[in-house]
Structure 1
Amino acid sequence: MKKRFFQKQSIGFVPLASARDWAIVAVIVAGVLGVRELVLLFSLMDREDLRITLIGACFGMLPSVLMCLPVHGVVDGLSRDALRSFLGSMKFIRLVERNGTRFYTQNTPSWMRWDSNRVAIKPLPDGQLGVTMPFYCYWTLTRRR
């Protein structure tokens, strides 16, 4: 089996990285509640059916939140090109560099971007790169042959 260039060290437990991410989730939940009330006003649909739909919508949102859990790891200096190629294949573009850390985000409209969906790359003193990526990127990386 081929050795992976990204060596996972840990998985974080903070799925929503910023106040903006929390606001997006709050708007989604409030939107689902609002739509439920509108449907109740203008429909003959049963309240129990709408309650089940609301619960299903909230549970349906959970996988997208959990797939953005941060995975921390390292990439050796020789695998920089492999990392760059992987980020390109996942449609990540360079966003900004702050305090020596480069941030990459997916090439989508800004209103669709989650802060917890960023990849952060920081050079380490030993020549390796410290990388933090969302869990779905790590999951995709481990599935490639």
Structure 2
Amino acid sequence: AMFRYGEWLKRPKEAVKTFPVSKSRVDHILNESIKEGYLEIGGERALQIMKAYGIPTVENYLVRELHEALDVAENLHSSLAMKIESPAILHKSDTRGVLLNLKLADVETSFYQLMERAKRIVQANRIRGISIQPMVLLDFKFFQKLFSYQIGD
């Protein structure tokens, strides 16, 4: 490990890559979270910050009412993921706050199920809604390249 680290230190220095960032958007998102009393960022707000940094993300729709959820599901035409959206619930899978591979016919039951689970954990005013996303297939080659880059091979 020390040899590899020494080799890494000897490598030619590369220019730091820069890209456009919407600092005002990130500041706004962070300030909103602080105003609400949260220092952690997750869910929809984390996706918004990633977008502000130019990082591609999955489409995300925050809904508060069943009719909104049904509209989103009808327009996506794919399998869906639905997640509780609350900054007070960061680890949604630990609270059964994520439902995957849903079809349009599942949306109504899933919406009410997630809202009830959220209300058992946090006060209603701490629930921002339900995030709906299309299911996305993972690109193995992308992760293989990312992993290789991080370990230096």
TM-score bucket of the superposed structures, by smaller chain: under 0.3
> TM (normalized to structure 1)?
0.24
Greater relative contact order structure (CA < 8 Å, 6+ sep): 1
> Which TM-score applies when normalising by structure 2?
0.23
